[in-house]
């Protein structure tokens, strides 16, 4: 018996409403992994404290699985974690947070509807957070902020709020306020519920229950936290009342304001109200514009989605390639026949998977906001749109500007495998590849984070059996030449002329100065950072 269309529409609407898909952005060591772990524990998605990771003790994040990650104790590839939280179906996409990061990190931000920014209370906004924030800003992604490590000495909270506003250009609305810092850290005062949440360790991990006071003025506070701490808290709250920003849900949803929570992921402190806010306020799957400007609503009945990531060798036991699809509209079901817009070919989704770190399970139905892995027989590329019913094409995923370049040298004679390996890794989006326009045609790799070079070497060796070496080159930027293709350009000798696989001209610059010089000297062409 077929299901009536209205029942299907109702289910779709309900499932869309329930979904929250987000990523965490942070600088290495700010506490992203710990926050992920505690969130999963809180949500009951993992059973054991510390099962996610302990860097020193060699325990690993659920999403850490490649050897190279294990060797270095970092998470390189982003995996999707799914769990239920306060009645929401949450998908957390892991953005690798190590020092060098990759295009994968950027692309992940194209597949989420909001972000959480974790900052270290002692350090404030650091370089990588800023870069990731820029990508999130371009997409107008709403952002919640978690200021972490309140149990350690940190910077003045007002100073941190000011830095968020100044450096990132969004207003910052504190949701709670720390009482003391470091050794004198007593807890936080919830500015909305007027609760004092005590920070203290009790035997067996027990906690004192939060106490509701009538406000920061409540004399009872002196008994609870001490006279000095109360005075400090009062000063802070008065300042906030006079000049601070109050939480405004609409401003958050429009990415004009970030609600800020203070806490400690490690001590599991201040997480509850933060996660409650995530469940209450983070947006459900949003409509997306297709390539021709049509707005595709998530509740549209026809399935559509796009591939934002391709990963080979997910599991050494299954030597396969997985394409990760973000569902944008409709319902994706197992065995469904869809079309890949780029190839204009039908594909049957016979093995859609859901991943939880190393584990995978077959998915019967996936809804907008969900991320599904398709075992990829080479038929999916990054940015491909898949649809059923009415055709749709989502805009292509841009290349992000590479910052490190290296010549890839083959160390043996397995040319065919070498060529195939380089092509496939390029298709996966692991690196950009160009070839010198003159002389020997060896591949030059462009990557966002230099660690990618090690990964390329390791994967060519392990998966394609070819020995290669990347010799670092001293270029700092690549630009695609647009405009008059035959223009004779005025270029210093230090600039290398190359072409990409599609025959487009790409210039590599050894310094920002050279780049600016070339822009000035060649006004008839445009030099584009992204292809
Ligand atoms: P990341 O994923 O953003 O790189 O950060 P991660 O969670 O790995 O945290 C970096 C270090 O900071 C870890 O210590 C972690 O235990 C610690 N940390 C995270 N949150 C807090 C917090 O709220 N308070 C304190 N005091 N420390 C915190 P590590 O020694 O480098 O690693 P591990 O051996 O503890 O895993």
Q: For the chain, which domains are there?
A: 24-62+115-281 (3.40.50.300), 288-387 (2.40.30.10), 404-528 (3.30.70.3280)
Give the pLDDT confidence score for residue 413 in this predicted structure: 84
Ligand 1: lining residues by beta carbon, under 6 Å: 26, 28-34, 53-56, 97, 148-149, 151-152, 264-267
Distance of CA 33 to the CA centre of its chain: 13
pLDDT at 62 over 60: no
Pocket test for ligand 1, best of 25, 31, 98, 181 (most atoms within 8 A of CB): 31
Distance CA 174, CA 389 (A): 46
What's the CA-to-centroid distance between 359 and ligand 1, angstroms?
Answer: 25
pLDDT at 369 over 90: yes
Longest dimension (CA), the chain: 80
Query: Which ligand 1 atom minimizes the distance to the CA of 53?
Result: 36
What's the CA-to-centroid distance between 264 and ligand 1, angstroms?
Answer: 10
Query: Which ligand 1 atom minimizes the distance to the CA of 27?
Result: 3
pLDDT band at 361 (very low <50, low <70, confident <90, very high): confident
Q: Which residue lies with its CA nearest to atom 10 of ligand 1?
A: 29
In a 13 Å sphere around the CA of 323, the CA atoms on its Cβ side amount to: 23
What's the CA-to-centroid distance between 492 and ligand 1, angstroms?
Answer: 47
Radius of gyration over alpha carbons of the chain, in Å?
25
What's the CA-to-centroid distance between 158 and ligand 1, angstroms?
Answer: 23
Residue with more model confidence, 472 or 426: 472
What's the CA-to-centroid distance between 164 and ligand 1, angstroms?
Answer: 22
The Cβ of residue 243 has, within 10 Å, a number of other Cβ atoms equal to 8
72: tokens are 């270095």
Distance CA 304, CA 392 (A): 7
Give the pLDDT confidence score for residue 351 in this predicted structure: 83
Decide: helix, strand or coil at residue 224.
helix
Global confidence as pTM:
0.83
Distance CA 186, CA 194 (A): 15
DSSP 167: I
pLDDT at 267 over 70: yes
Give the pLDDT confidence score for residue 14 in this predicted structure: 96
Q: Which residue lies with its CA nearest to atom 25 of ligand 1?
A: 149
Q: Are 179 and 191 in contact (CB under 8 A)?
A: no
250: tokens are 């609409």
Distance CA 82, CA 84 (A): 7
Q: 212-221, 233-242, 291-300, 492-501: lowest mean pLDDT where?
A: 212-221
What's the CA-to-centroid distance between 272 and ligand 1, angstroms?
Answer: 19
In a 13 Å sphere around the CA of 103, the CA atoms on its Cβ side amount to: 26
Q: Which residue lies with its CA nearest to atom 6 of ligand 1?
A: 31
CA distances for 105 relative to 45, 210, 292, angstroms: 24, 38, 26
């Amino acid at each position: 018996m077929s299901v009536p269309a209205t029942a299907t529409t109702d289910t779709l609407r309900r499932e869309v409403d329930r979904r929250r898909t987000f990523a965490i952005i942070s600088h290495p060591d700010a506490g992203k992994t710990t926050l992920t772990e505690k969130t999963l524990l809180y949500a009951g998605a993992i059973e054991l404290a510390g099962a996610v990771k302990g860097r020193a003790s060699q325990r690993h994040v659920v999403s850490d699985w490649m050897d190279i990650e294990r060797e270095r104790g970092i998470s390189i590839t982003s995996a999707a974690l799914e769990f239920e939280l306060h009645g929401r179906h949450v998908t957390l996409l892991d953005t690798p947070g190590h020092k060098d990061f990759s295009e994968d990190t950027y692309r992940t931000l194209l597949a989420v509807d909001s972000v959480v920014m974790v900052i270290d209370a002692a350090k404030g906004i650091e370089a990588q957070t800023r870069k990731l924030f820029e990508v999130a800003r371009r997409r107008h992604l709403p952002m919640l902020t978690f200021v972490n490590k309140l149990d350690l000495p940190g910077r003045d909270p007002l100073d941190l709020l000011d830095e968020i506003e100044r450096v990132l250009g969004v207003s910052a609305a504190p949701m709670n306020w720390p009482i003391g810092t470091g050794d004198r850290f007593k807890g936080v005062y919830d500015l909305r519920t007027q609760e004092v949440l005590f920070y203290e360790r009790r035997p067996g991990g027990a906690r004192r229950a939060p106490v509701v006071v009538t406000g920061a003025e409540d004399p009872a506070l002196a008994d609870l936290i001490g006279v000095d701490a109360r005075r400090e808290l009062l000063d802070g709250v008065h300042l906030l009342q006079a000049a601070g920003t109050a939480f405004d849900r609409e401003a958050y949803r429009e990415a004009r304001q970030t609600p800020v929570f203070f806490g400690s992921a490690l001590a599991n402190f201040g997480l509850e109200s933060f996660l409650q806010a995530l469940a209450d306020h983070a947006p459900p799957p949003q409509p997306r514009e297709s390539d021709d400007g049509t707005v595709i609503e998530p509740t549209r009945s026809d399935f559509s989605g796009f591939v934002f990531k391709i990963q080979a060798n997910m599991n050494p036991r299954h030597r396969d390639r997985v394409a990760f699809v973000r569902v944008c509209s409709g319902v994706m079901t197992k065995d469904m026949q869809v079309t890949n817009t780029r190839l204009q070919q039908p594909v049957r989704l016979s093995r859609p998977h859901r991943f939880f770190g190393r584990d995978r399970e077959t998915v019967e139905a996936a809804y907008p906001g969900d991320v599904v892995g398709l075992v990829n027989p080479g038929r999916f590329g990054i940015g491909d749109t898949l649809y059923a019913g009415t055709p749709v094409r989502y805009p292509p995923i841009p290349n992000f500007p590479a910052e490190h370049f290296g010549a890839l040298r083959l160390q043996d004679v397995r040319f065919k495998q070498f060529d195939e390996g380089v092509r496939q890794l390029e298709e996966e989006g692991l690196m950009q590849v160009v070839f010198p326009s003159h002389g020997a045609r060896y591949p030059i790799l462009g990557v966002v984070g230099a660690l990618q070079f090690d990964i390329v070497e390791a994967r060519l060796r392990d998966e394609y059996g070819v020995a290669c070496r990347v010799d670092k080159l001293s270029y700092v930027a690549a630009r695609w030449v647009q405009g008059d293709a035959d223009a004779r350009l005025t270029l210093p000798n230090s600039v290398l002329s190359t072409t990409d696989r599609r025959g487009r001209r790409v210039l590599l610059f050894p310094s920002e100065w050279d780049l600016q010089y070339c822009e000035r000297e060649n006004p008839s062409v445009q030099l584009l950072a992204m292809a």
